[in-house]
Amino acid sequence: MPVPDALRQRLAEVADLAHAAAVLEWDQETYMPPGGAEARGRQIATLRRFAHERFVDERVGEWIEGAEGEGDLDRALLRVTARDWRRATLLPGRLVAEKAEASARAKGAWKAAREADRFDLFAPHLEQILSLAREEADLVRPLVAGERGSAYAPSDADARYDALLDAYEPGASAAGVAAVFGELREGLVPLVAAVAEAEPPDDAFLRRPFDADAQWAFGLDIAQALGYSLDHGRQDRSAHPFTTAFGVTDVRITTRVDPDFFPTAFFSTVHEAGHGIYEQGFAPELAGTPLADGASLGVHESQSRLYENLVARSAPFWKWAYPMLQARFPHLGDVPRKAFVRAVNKVEPSLIRVEADELTYHLHVLLRFELERALLAGDLAVDDLPAAWNERMAEYLGVVPPSDADGCLQDIHWSLGAVGYFPTYTLGTLMSAQLWTAADDDLDGLDAQLEAGAFEPLLGWLRDKVHRWGRAKTAGQILRDATGQDLEAGPWLAYARGKVERLYGVTA
C-alpha cells in the first residue's frame, strides 16, 4: 500500500495550520501593536488546537498503519509521522492542559522570583514542572524504549530523562550525552582556566557607536553571501532573535541591534541565518509534510553555530570581510584586522549563559544538563538547586553568581516546561565541528575558500549532507553519513584548543 492521499492531505492541512500559527507568532514578536496581545494569544491557541486535533485523529493512525510506502522518502515519511503520532497520542488532553497551565503560572512566578531575587517564589513551581515532566516521561518511555530495542536498559531516572530529551534530540540518551559532555568538560575546564590567566584582548573598539542601519545592511549582506535567500526569507527586528518558517519557501529571521556594540546584531544575524539556510535547504518534495523540519534541535544548532562561529569568527573569513566592514564603519580604519578577530573571539568566564562567549558557553550548558538530570531523578532537591548551581559555577567557570537572579533563575526554559532541552545547544556545537572537519577534508581546505568569500562549496556540501534531508534521516544518520562518526567531543575540543593557542598563545 502506498501512502494514501488522505494522509498526505491531512498532513498538508496540519502543516498549513502550524505555519499559520507561526506567522501569528512572528507578527506577535515583530509588528503587533501592544493592545493586540490578548486576542493574539487566543488566535494562536485556536490554531494550535486545530492542528493538534487534526493530527491525533484516529484515522491518521489507521492511514499510517495501512501503508508501507514506496521509496525511501515515503518510508521516511511514514516512520517520522508514525513516531510523531504515537508520541502525540500518548499524552492525554488532561496532561497537556495541566502542563500549559502549570507553565503559564510558573512563567509568571519565574519573572517575579527573578526580579525579587527570591528562589523560594519559584521553587514550588519548579517542583510541579518536574512532577509533570516525570508523568509525561513515564507515558512516553515505552515508545522510546520500544524503538531502541533490547540493548537499551538505562536507570529508571535516565529512562525518564531520555524520554524527555528524545522530544528535542530523537535518539539521544542521558548516558550518551553524559559521556560526551564528560569528555568535553575534561578538556574545556582547564582550557577556560588557562585563558582566564592570559591577557584579555582589547575590545573597546567594538563598544563604540555603530550606525544601526549600516549594521543591519552589513549583516544582511553577509547572510546572503553565506547562502540565506531573501527570495524565500526576510529579516525583521525583535527583542529576542529567532528563526521561523512558514514553509520551505518562507523562512524568516529576526535580530536586534545594539547601536553601541557591534557583535550583538552581527553574530546573531549570522547565527539565525545559519538556522534559516538550513530550513531553506530542505528538499522541495518534503514541503507540507513532517519531514520538512530539522532532524533534531542539535542538528539545527549545528548549522547556526557553524556559520556563526566556524565561519564568521574565523580569521580567514575576516580576511575577506574586514575591508567591507571597515568601508561601512570608517572608525575601524585604524583597528588592525588581527586585533578585530581577537576581540570578536574574546573568551571570558561570566555569569549569564546568553552573554557567554563561544567557549565558556558550553560550561553553562553542562551545568544545566547535570543539574536537571539530577533534579528529574530526585538526586537533587529543588531547594538545594541554588547551592548546587553556585558550586558548579565556581568549579567550571571560576565565578560565583552574587545572586540567584544571576544564577539559577536566569533562564526561562524550565518555567516553560522544557526539561531535556539545554543539551541540544552543545550537542549541535559538537556536531558543527565534526561536520566542519569532514567538509574541510572533502572540499580540500575551507580556509582558502573563506578568505576568497567563496561560500558556495561549503553551502553545497551542507545542502547535500545535511539540509536537504530534513527529518528524512535522523541526526545520527546525518552525522554518520557525513562524517563517518558518531557524536564526539574531540573535533570541537581540537578546534577550541587551536583557537585559544592562536589568539591567546596558551595551551591546556
Among 56, 82, 287, 339, binds a second copy (CB under 8 A): 287
Instruction: Answer positive or negative: Cα dihedral of 257, 247, 303, 438.
Output: negative
What nine digits make up the cell of 428?
A: 549541535
Give the shortest CB-238-to-a second copy separation in angstroms: 13
Return the amino acid letter for 495: Y
Count interface residues toward a second copy (CB under 8 A).
Answer: 38
- Binding to a second copy by residue 404, rule CB under 8 A? no
Contact between residue 226 and residue 455 where contact means Cβ atoms under 8 Å apart? yes
Which residues in the 6-25 window bind a second copy by CB under 8 A? Answer: 12-13, 16-17, 19-21, 23-24
Binding map of a second copy across residues 240-279, x = CB under 8 A, - = no contact? ------xxxxx-x---------------------------
What nine digits make up the cell of 450?
A: 573563506
Which residues in the 47-66 window bind a second copy by CB under 8 A? Answer: 47, 50
Give the shortest CB-22-to-a second copy separation in angstroms: 10
- Binding to a second copy by residue 40, rule CB under 8 A? yes
Strand 243-245 versus strand 251-255 pairing type: antiparallel
Q: For a second copy, which is the closer residue by CB, 236 or 260?
A: 236
Report the helix count and the strand count for the chain, using DSSP H and E: 20, 3
Q: State the maximum Cα–Cα separation within the chain, in Å, rounded to a whole number.
A: 69
Say if residue 44 is exposed, middle or buried (CB neighbours under 10 Å; 0-12, 13-18, 19+): middle
Establish whether 391 is a catalytic residue.
no
Q: For a second copy, which is the closer residue by CB, 89 or 249?
A: 249
- Binding to a second copy by residue 39, rule CB under 8 A? yes
What nine digits make up the cell of 177?
A: 550525552
DSSP, residue by residue, 361-415: HHHHHHHHHHHHHHHHHTSS-GGGHHHHHHHHHHHHHS---SSSTTTTTS-SGGG
Provide, for the chain, the percentages of residues in helix, strand and coil under a 3-state DSSP scheme, each rounded to the nearest 5: 70, 0, 30
- Binding to a second copy by residue 166, rule CB under 8 A? no
Q: For a second copy, which is the closer residue by CB, 24 or 139?
A: 24
Report d(CA 446, CA 457) in Å as an integer. 9
CB atoms within 10 A of CB 507: 11
Q: For a second copy, which is the closer residue by CB, 254 or 309?
A: 254
Among 1, 179, 230, 452, binds a second copy (CB under 8 A): 230
Q: Which residues pair with 237 in a beta bridge?
A: 255
Give the shortest CB-35-to-a second copy separation in angstroms: 4
Annotated catalytic residue, options 136, 169, 272, 358: 272
Which residues in the 120-139 window bind a second copy by CB under 8 A? Answer: none
Q: How many residues does the chain have?
A: 508
- Catalytic residue numbers read 272
Binding residues (CB under 8 A) for a second copy: these are: 12-13, 16-17, 19-21, 23-24, 27, 31-36, 38-40, 42-43, 46-47, 50, 229-234, 236, 246-250, 252, 287
